[in-house]
Amino acid sequence: MLIGIRAAYQFFTGLLLPIMIAIVLMFAGRALAIYPLSVLFSRSALQISSNDQHILFWGGLRGALALALALGLPPQLPERGTIITVAFAVVAFCIFVQGLTMVPLLRKLKEIP
């Protein structure tokens, strides 16, 4: 509820560039965390299939912690509002874009009918 109240008063259009940069960096971080680490397990019993790697990459729906940390920043921090807005936008992107496209991805990868 606190997040919804806070987000209702956000001005997103002036921060489109920082939001897009944050989303690209989020994807880069996820890719660097999943794909190279999966190679480490490629010759073991813990091998992760490429389909599962793609699902892990796209399904990394997170945000509550990042948003809580942003909301917990000291009020006197100069760019606190910008940080909260960008964090909220990235979380919203994850929920709406990634969340709503997870089933089509699973169908495309033939993981579900």
90: containing domain: 16-108
Residue type, 76: Q
Q: CA-CA distance, 56 to 53, in Å (whole number)?
A: 5
- Retrieve residue 58's tokens: 């796209």
Cα 20 from chain centre: 12
pLDDT one-digit tens code per residue, 50-98: 999 999 999 876 677 888 888 899 999 999 888 888 888 888 888 889 9
Report the number of distinct structural domains present in the chain: 1
Any domain includes 5: no
Provide the pLDDT for residue 51. 94
Any domain includes 6: no
Any domain includes 95: yes
**pTM of structure:** 0.81
- Retrieve residue 21's tokens: 């940069």
Percent of the chain with pLDDT over 90: 51
Provide the pLDDT for residue 3. 60
Any domain includes 85: yes
Residue type, 9: Y
